[in-house]
Amino acid sequence: MSAFVVDASVAVKWFFPEAHEADALRLVRGRHDLLVPDVFFSEFGNTLWKRLRRRETTPAVATRAIDELSRLFFQVHPSQALVPLALDLATRFDRSVYDSMYLAVAVLRHCPVVTADRRLHDALAEGPLRSHILWVADVP
């Protein structure tokens, strides 16, 4: 069984039609361990809020997405323990601490972060963290 850290940019594709939706769904349909820092849930909620604000979805659809997300199993890593490593990664690689929380889980668990955030992916794909970043379309 493979382990992947999943960021909110990927998780939102499980519930809304967008580019790379089928790629993202391979994570939940496959036999994978899905790991997240606990900030994943607030980032997911914030993404729903943005869609509601832009009138791209309805409150009922957003609520259903939250309910369905809660039925999935994640290995959740508390952010308090991740902050020192996340801050170090953020400083060394010029990424936000929020993005670096996912990277910290990936580094500690020796697996990649799956992302649909092109800026994050491209910033790390050629450097020393390249084994810890995976573009959503490249999910096996």
* Residue range 26-52, pLDDT digits in tens: 999 888 999 999 999 999 999 999 999
Backbone angles phi, psi at 107, to 5 degrees: -65, -45
Task: Give the pLDDT confidence score for residue 69 in this predicted structure.
Answer: 96
Cα gap 61→36, rounded to integer Å: 23
Given a cut of 80, is residue 137 above it in pLDDT? Answer: yes
Beta strands in 10-68, from DSSP E residues, in sequence order: 32-37
* Residue range 98-119, pLDDT digits in tens: 999 999 999 999 999 999 999 9
How many angstroms separate the Cα of 102 from the Cα of each of 5, 26, 60, 77?
7, 19, 29, 9
Using CA atoms of 12, 104, 42, 10 in order, give the dihedral in degrees to the nearest 10.
0
Q: Which SS3 state, helix, strand or coil, does residue 58 take?
A: coil
Map out the domains of the chain with their CATH numbers: 2-138 (3.40.50.1010)
Cα gap 70→72, rounded to integer Å: 5
Given a cut of 80, is residue 1 above it in pLDDT? Answer: no
The end-to-end CA distance of the chain, in Å, is 12
* Residue range 61-95, pLDDT digits in tens: 999 999 999 999 999 999 999 999 999 999 999 99
Task: Give the pLDDT confidence score for residue 140 in this predicted structure.
Answer: 86
Helices 79-93 and 97-109 pack at an angle, to 10 degrees, of: 110
